[in-house]
Structure 1
Amino acid sequence: MSADGAHRSRIGGTGIQGPKSVGTGLLALLVACGTALSAVPPQEDANPEGGFRSIERETLAADVQVLASPEFEGRDSPSVGLERAAQRIEQRLKKLGLEPLGANGGYRQPFTRTYAVPVQEACQVEYRRSADDPVDLLEYGEEFVPLAGCEGEAQGELVFVGFGITSSKERYDDLRGVSVRGKVVLAYEGEPRNRKVLEGEALTPIADLYRKARLLDEAGAVGVIFIRRPPEEATKVKGEGSLEPPALGFRYTWARWNDGRGMPAQPREQAIPVVEVSEAAASELLGEDVAKLARKIDRAGKPVHAELEGSTVFLATRFERDEVSMANLVAKLPGSDPALREEYVVLGAHYDHIGVDPWGRIGYGADDNASGSAALLELAEAMTIAKPRRSVLFLWFAAEEDGLIGSRRFCDDPPVPRSSLVAMFNMDMLGRGEEDEVFVLGLQENPGFKETLKRARKLFPSKVRKVELDKGRDLWRRSDHYSFHKIGVPVLFFFENYPESKNPDYHTYRDTFESLNLEKVWRSTRFLFNVAWITANDDERPAPPR
């Protein structure tokens, strides 16, 4: 969910209460289900119950785990992690056989934003380890990327100084006994993985890349090469094995946390050039395995230095304002009824999050919004089995966290007529709070959906027992449904609980896979199936919003 809190209002709401237990009587259950189903004219090959029961906890959990893994680095828009998430979603859509509605026959609906972008041909890391060695180059994008805001040129001898940390308060000094004046410094990002050093597992302000670069500049360094350290352990996903480590990618922006502690709004400029490199590239520069040096520091909790006398390293970085592309993902399931298949029910979720901060902490975005993105994948599979009368569009939005930019892009230029969009149901943050309840916004604008929600409770047994309606009006404009509301599409926004303070991990590095209530995500997904199925099969389309 976007953190933009502008135009907030506070209006109360009501709830739909469910039964307190399952034991309400078999006859009553059959009558209720029969009533709900009779209002939805089925096609001959429709299989709604099969679709509903295809929504599996295990698949849902695996998708959330992957999207929220360290290897996806917080899925910032744009980033290599967001690209990796897009590729995973695309693979699933292809496997399901869903029709692509993006550009050039694919699933992607691209759009651009302006950033300070590295000028690739002007960015270099040139080196030789001794006067007798030939000059070699690191490859941009594969082996190095510049650090945003750090522009210039530098040349000097290479020196490795562990993690580049100097702190009298913490009694840890990587620069003690070594001179960096006039040299290019090679150092790891982050802090030693030692519970007795600094604050142990928790990263501190000392890890801030820009703070490190400034202190190294003050100590006389002419340039800095930071080493990106991969996760301590690869994420292991049931049925998929271990994930590949994250690729090296330029970071256009940095995460800002909801708790407001220590995060810059934008990259901070430095007076010397700074680049980031992979461990393999760092080992090539130094001529020895830097990962072994890092592990030695981890074990001992003491600095390790390595000077490469006679070496020469040349750094150059330059930036300019330019457009950077990212994309929504758009897939279509054609409806089974010729009379209704030109009308569309939209199911959507944003797949981006807020990325990494300069300390190296990752905003994993498990709840926000790997939960909704994974739910949408399950719904896509379920609907292909169920075969609704109306067509269904499945949309994964990028740049929601930057102000609903992806959904605004879709609504500005949808691949189908706007008038054919009969409803939009948005899923954003489904994994915290009581597992038998779901919160829904949109009834004030679309009161006809109240009856739809009542029917959805009776359709198939989702185990959602309480539906809270229109609580949290201050959230109304903060997720992607609002872009559709503005163009006159009836919308509902499904989310976890209210008030926002009930989730203290929102927009922090604590929003992890382990912190989720996956049972709640599963139940909410099944309830959403019921809502979507009813809307995609009713004879009449929902009334326009008021």
Structure 2
Amino acid sequence: YFQGFEVTTGARLGEKNELRLNGTNLRIHEDFVPIAFSNTAEFEGPVVFAGYGVTASEMHYDDYRGIDAEGKIVIVFRHEPQELDSKSPFAGANFTAHASFVNKTINARRHGAKGIIFITDPNNHENEELGTATRQIENDDMGIPAVHARRDPVMKIVRDAGKDLAAIQKKIDADLESQSFELPAARVRIATEVIRTRKTVRNVMGAIPGSDPMLQNEWVVVGAHYDHLGLGERDSLAPSQKGQVHHGADDNASGTSGVLELARLAARNKNGWERSVLFMTFAAEEIGLIGSSHFVNNPTIPIRNVNGMINMDMIGRLNNDHLYVGGVGTSPSYQTWLEDLKKSVGLNLDYSDSGYGASDHTSFNAKKIPVLFFFSGLHTDYHKPSDTPDKINGNGAIKVLSLVYLMMDKMATGTERLEYAEVRQPQPPGGGGGGGYGPYFGSVPDFRDDLKGVLFADVQNNSPAAKAGFKAGDLMVEFDGKEIQNLYDFTYALRGKKPGDVVAVVVKRGGQDVKANVTLEARR
């Protein structure tokens, strides 16, 4: 069976992309490139230079201090201050989240900017990487036009104002103080037209009906995602090898093969199980758990009848018979079963209670379904072209599947349904990055990409969000007085807060705005 749904798979440029500096038109692809996360808009007006475009309250650094970017176009350097200093609070050449194109654009928009022009900082980077630096950028709409431009024409309008950007960069790096300024005589026109490509992809599933007339309407779901990184244009951990096939043998051909093998074995079980079993492979996991999210929100079986869910993601690199099992705390039965069964298959198990994580079991856990996540561990080939079939531990994968089969058997038999237990998540699934996650809020995002805002797939019990009255299904549209267009906005805004801060949050619920104050807490 196929379950189709649409996702944004890319973006292409329309005809109206323009950058004009003081009346001089720049050439697209030669002098500037629009960035895929731009919105479709145009603006002509005044300009400000905003240093590296960073606001980092935790480091007492703000490039927007002393300038007014409201209703203007901002020019910013790429990268971060003190890039060559290993002792820099910005982590030197490793970079923090503040260095990203996305976060700098969000910061510009939050300061009221109507557009942003990136140039490669002059002192540390001879190669400007025009057209390559932004190649794997996200294509979600960040709300303003954004372009990466060649240095020389931009530096000319700054020189005309009597300023030297190379000298200014040196001063910023030396003092970690804002050197931003307005360019009152300059005028810039920026226009971007980005057309986002949406395509239909499919979850693939097969079912084995249960044998018990009383229990066959209850289900066990066994799943794995079958998508991978393709040519690595997005999220590759081998940037120099973008454009090469990222084979994904472990991530996640191993889990996909596991689903197929378990389905084959299950089909040979003449007596079947009392409960029905749904074998699923999910699309679009690598771009945000979208396939599993679509299924739990548009289920082909009654979602309340799902007794438990098993997810296999990267089960092909078992080392020393050591297997990670997540979600163990989501049902009181799980750890007892696993302890009883592990010796029979010769595995050492490392347990995690949380039912959340950066894989498809998260979508089911958000619906209060007991989940298990089987994972053989990270390795140096993860998200690289070198994740190839010759490195798969076939015998190890057989051991993993032997345990999964036994757990599937437990879940599909017996008259008692699994009891769900909520486990507080230690950190947000699939979000954040360098620079920390910020304080604890307590929502779990739904990663669907067709809504403006952040949809809550779940709100954890006794979390700050729950205490403020927010619920699963709420759509956050405002945080601390700033519009929230997507998960990037929310992650950026949360990272800038600290435990104890009280923030006003607005959500859409049933077509109405619901506003409440949330007191953020420390993560535990």
Structure 1 and Structure 2 fold alike (TM over 0.5): no
Choose between structure 1 and 2: higher helix proportion: 1
Q: TM-score, normalised by structure 1?
A: 0.42
Between the two structures, name the one with larger relative contact order (CA 8 Å, sep ≥ 6): 1
